[in-house]
A and B are shown apart, each in its own frame.
Chain A
Amino acid sequence: MIEFKDVSKTYPNGTKGLKHINLQIDQGEFVAIIGLSGAGKSTLIRTINRMIDITEGQLIVDGTDVMTLKGKDLRRFRRKIGMIFQSFNLVSRASVIKNVLSSNVPDMPWYKVFFGIYSQEQKIKALEALDKVNILDKAYHRCDELSGGQMQRVALARTLAQNPTIILADEPVASLDPIMADVVMSDFAKINKEMNISILLNIHHVDLALKYATRVIGVRAGEIVYDGPADKVTDAVLDQVYNGKAVPKSTDIVTEADAEEIAEVTENE
């Protein structure tokens, strides 16, 4: 369970990232956070595993007050929380399986890390994770040989191999084409259902958010303006979240970067 109690974040330059957030997310929820760029979606997600420190309030994750953690305890706490990034954040020169195996590194003795020695058991777990996201056959390819969608699934497998109770995803589908974005989102939904892992993700594609998430949180200027089930999100709600602007359908907000991705993917696949 994740609990925000009157949480605020002020950046050193004075920008307010979050303003008095109160929020409670139960185990096994699939939460999509929507809002304009710069509204504080990323900040909200990144405070949970303390990639960003909060400046006021209290944040409790599974009974632990996040801000009290230091050094080793913080690292042990982070083991239970997976994180997915917009740009995949894989070691592109290394093989797919090496990337998945790297999730074991924090628990390994230094000499095994030094020589990169992984046990049979860890390898099987990594391969199973790859199987779960349907790219088992790419296990020994180098990451830079894969398409964007495949790389995001490798990142997902890396997170699964870590046995998290929560997965945080910061714009996981923003650099994927609409078709791949849908596939990756359905992967998230599958994982959420089958393994009872809580999932929090930032997303710009409103229709994808409504299609897969069970709960939607709308953020505007660091404040929560909507919090409720996905099927209650109306045009009026979206209007409010996006500051009175007309709500674009996902098909209309294919950005330039997306268009490039589509061209690339259609070449690759």
Chain B
Amino acid sequence: MSEAGRKLPLFDQIIKPEHIVLNNGHEIDRPRSRIPLIIACLVLVIWVSLRATGFNLATIISRAGQLKVILGQIFHPNFAYFPKVVSPLIDTIKMSIVGTVVGCVIGLPLSILASSNINSNHPVLLFIRFILSLMRSIPTLIYASILTLVFDLGTFAGTIAIAFFTIGIVAKMLYESIETIDMKPYEAMTSFGASTLQAFWTACMPQILPTYIDDCLYCFELNVRASTILGYVGAGGLGVLIRERTGLRAYSDLGMVLLTLFIVVFLIDLLNDYIRSKIS
């Protein structure tokens, strides 16, 4: 029995499905496997990619010794270098905190404007979503490298860069969860005279607050990692050291920087997990 009404996918139109007549007389169409086509495409893509990137396995093998030397130094961190790490590390953390808080605070109203169940003004909704996509598509480092020119080198540019990127992510995650909430309490609030904002804040906010906090913490984790490298383009924090030390090939100093980073990230993850367990 063939489904006459349904249009066949393009693939099955070109390569006709195999027609099978079973022993008991029933007939079925078995679509041909797409695996060969997928593999062929994959091989082509990989071949083009190898050509475009100048991939050369021999180089890695012949120069693997170099890697061993560098990694060896990184894994023997120069502990004497630690005092020099502290101040940029604190800068990095400060940048992440302020950037995250600013981004999350600005992201909240934007996410409300971007939720189709709260904002019925379609053009505004699409405009806000478009802006949010734009903000997310530009990497933090590109923001930072532009902002260091506009605001001069230093942590201010880094903070703004982080805030920009955070707004894009937080608002997107948040409007996706706002669109799944129960709108009935909101309906009730409007039925007894609350304005859109009042109704949203009282009826919807309690529902999204746990998600919101979770999203903020997630962004904070992302931002700590991201802000370590912002200094590479001059936006303050650990990145400045990383650029300087790799430039000087002082890899055991770099090892110290990475070790500290590793511990800090680990501690922050622990703290966030603790906060999350408290909330839920």
- CB pair B187–A91 under 8 Å, yes or no, is no
- CB pair B193–A102 under 8 Å, yes or no, is no
Mark the stretch among B129-137, B198-206, B242-250 that contacts chain A: B198-206
Q: A94 to B201, alpha carbons, bound, how many Å?
A: 13
A103 at the interface (CB under 8 A from B): yes
- CB pair A87–B202 under 8 Å, yes or no, is no
B residues near A110, Cβ cutoff 8 Å? 197
Q: A8 to B229, alpha carbons, bound, how many Å?
A: 66
Assess A77 versus B193: contact at CB under 8 Å? Given A91-B207, A113-B201. yes
- CB pair A93–B206 under 8 Å, yes or no, is yes
Interface of B is mostly: helix
Assess A85 versus B187: contact at CB under 8 Å? Given A75-B195, A113-B201. yes
CB-contact partner of A106 in B187, B188, B193, B203, under 8 A = B193
Shortest Cβ distance from residue A80 to the other chain B in the assembled complex, whole angstroms = 9
- CB pair B187–A79 under 8 Å, yes or no, is no
B185 at the interface (CB under 8 A from A): yes
Contact with A along B168-198 (1 / 0, CB 8 A): 0000000000000010110111111111011
Shortest Cβ distance from residue B193 to the other chain A in the assembled complex, whole angstroms = 4
- CB pair A83–B185 under 8 Å, yes or no, is no
Q: Which residue of A lies closest to B199 (CB)?
A: A105
A148 at the interface (CB under 8 A from B): no
B residues near A78, Cβ cutoff 8 Å? 190-193
Q: Which residue of B lies closest to A107 (CB)?
A: B193
A75, A85, A89, most chain B CB atoms within 10 A: A89
Shortest Cβ distance from residue B260 to the other chain A in the assembled complex, whole angstroms = 39
A49 at the interface (CB under 8 A from B): yes
Shortest Cβ distance from residue B242 to the other chain A in the assembled complex, whole angstroms = 42
- CB pair B188–A113 under 8 Å, yes or no, is no
A residues near B189, Cβ cutoff 8 Å? 102, 105
Q: A103 to B207, alpha carbons, bound, how many Å?
A: 18
- CB pair B193–A89 under 8 Å, yes or no, is no
A92 at the interface (CB under 8 A from B): yes
Q: Which of A35-94 contact B (CB under 8 A)?
A: 49, 51, 74-79, 81-83, 85, 87-94
Assess A87 versus B184: contact at CB under 8 Å? Given A106-B198, A113-B202. yes
Q: A90 to B207, alpha carbons, bound, how many Å?
A: 11
B residues near A77, Cβ cutoff 8 Å? 193
Shortest Cβ distance from residue A123 to the other chain B in the assembled complex, whole angstroms = 16
CB-contact partner of B192 in A88, A92, A98, A162, under 8 A = A162
- CB pair B206–A81 under 8 Å, yes or no, is no
Q: Which of A101-119 contact B (CB under 8 A)?
A: 102-103, 105-106, 110, 113-114, 116
Q: A155 to B185, alpha carbons, bound, how many Å?
A: 10
Q: Which residue of A lies closest to B185 (CB)?
A: A91
Assess A103 versus B192: contact at CB under 8 Å? Given A85-B184, A91-B185. yes
CB-contact partner of B193 in A75, A116, A158, under 8 A = A75
- CB pair A106–B194 under 8 Å, yes or no, is yes
A152 at the interface (CB under 8 A from B): no
Q: Chain A residues in contact with chain B, CB under 8 A?
A: 49, 51, 74-79, 81-83, 85, 87-94, 98-99, 102-103, 105-106, 110, 113-114, 116, 155, 158-159, 162, 164
- What are the 3 closest A-B residue pairs judged by CB atoms, nearest first? A89-B188, A78-B193, A83-B191
Q: Chain B residues in contact with chain A, CB under 8 A?
A: 182, 184-185, 187-195, 197-199, 201-203, 206-207
**A75-B194, A105-B194, A105-B198 are known contacts; what are 13 more A-B pairs with Cβ within 8 Å?**
A81-B191, A85-B187, A87-B184, A89-B185, A89-B187, A91-B203, A92-B182, A94-B206, A106-B192, A106-B194, A106-B195, A116-B202, A159-B192
Q: Name 21 A/B residue pairs within 8 A (Cβ), A-sorted.
A: A51-B187, A51-B191, A78-B193, A79-B193, A81-B191, A83-B191, A89-B188, A91-B185, A91-B206, A93-B207, A94-B206, A102-B189, A102-B202, A102-B203, A105-B198, A105-B199, A106-B192, A106-B194, A106-B195, A110-B197, A114-B201
